[in-house]
Amino acid sequence: MIRVAPSILAADLLHLYDEIQKVVSAGCDVLHVDVMDGHFVPNLSFGPDFVNEIHQAFPELKLDVHLMMEHPEQYIRRFAKGAWNITVHAEITANLPDVLEEIKDCGVCRGISLKPATPVSNIVHLLDKTDLVLIMTVEPGFGGQPFKWEMLDKLRELRRIGYQGLLEADGGLTMDNLPECKQAGLDVAVMGTAVYRSQHLLEDIQKIHSL
Ligand code: DX5
Ligand code: ZN
């Protein structure tokens, strides 16, 4: 079953409590929080206190924190207070095994993400130190971009080499491309625009869960 992880980047932030309540009521138990530092990506978004506030308000919800940051190693412990999973990017300069170890020390799932231009071969040596691989299916930084179909080859490659952890995709996911994502091995679908612009959210989530 594919799990939907709504991305609050696409939510109405002035009514965020209701926007989160809406996806929880529709059957989502994972929420994707895109953290951007204005350096790794040309955008700024949420901080660790914000994530912790969401966790306080929705303690049952698994917060899937995607750190699109140049130096996530400086913030792991602060984000870990509210996170279920913390994903860092393969392209950062810090020592990735150390960063993944610190995430594990905090009792949080370890995710690693690949930008579209970064091959799977760059992280093969790290796969035994991760719980989740997040394949960016758009250039990180902004929601609402078109889906990059060629990124499905990365999902297929990870499954082919026997990766047993969670496979997640992020960016441009819709009801149209999810069946092929599922075929390629997807477990968790990050969906911002498609969820928060849906006119029949409950139906859509149920349809996705039945894929
Ligand atoms: C890009 C962001 C987006 C967002 C989801 O950095 O990570 O991918 O979560 O985007 P859409 O709105 O395309 O589902
Ligand atoms: Zn994301």
pLDDT in tens, 113-159: 999 999 999 999 999 999 999 999 999 999 999 999 999 999 999 99
Q: How close is the Cα of 4 to the center of ligand 1, in Å?
A: 13
pLDDT at res. 53: 97
pLDDT at res. 141: 95
Q: How far is the C-alpha of 178 from the C-alpha of 52, rounded, in Å?
A: 30
pLDDT at res. 65: 98
User: In this structure, how many other beta carbons lie within 10 angstroms of the beta carbon of residue 66?
Assistant: 28
Strand (E) or helix (H) holding 54: helix 48-57
User: In this structure, how many other beta carbons lie within 10 angstroms of the beta carbon of residue 203?
Assistant: 11
Q: What is the pLDDT of residues 10-59, one digit of tens each?
A: 999 999 999 999 999 999 999 999 999 999 999 999 999 999 999 999 99
- Residue 43 CA, closest ligand 1 atom number: 6
pLDDT at res. 183: 97
Q: What is the pLDDT of residues 69-108, one digit of tens each?
A: 999 999 999 999 999 999 999 999 999 999 999 999 999 9
pLDDT at res. 73: 97
Mean pLDDT of the chain: 97
User: In this structure, how many other beta carbons lie within 10 angstroms of the beta carbon of residue 4?
Assistant: 26
What DSSP character marks residue 151?
G
3-state DSSP call for residue 84? coil
Q: Which residues line ligand 1 (CB under 6 A)?
A: 7, 9-10, 32, 34, 68, 138, 140-145, 170-173, 190-194
pLDDT at res. 123: 98
Under the banding of pLDDT at 50, 70 and 90, the label for residue 168 is very high
Looking at the CA of 86, name the nearest ligand.
2
pLDDT at res. 145: 95
Percent of the chain at pLDDT above 70? 100
How large is the greatest C-alpha to C-alpha distance in the chain, in angstroms?
44
Burial (CB count within 10 angstroms: exposed 0-12, middle 13-18, buried 19+), residue 16:
middle
pLDDT at res. 2: 95
Q: How far is the C-alpha of 44 from the C-alpha of 38, rounded, in Å?
A: 5
Q: How far is CA 28 from the centre of its chain?
A: 14
Q: How close is the Cα of 114 to the center of ligand 2, in Å?
A: 11
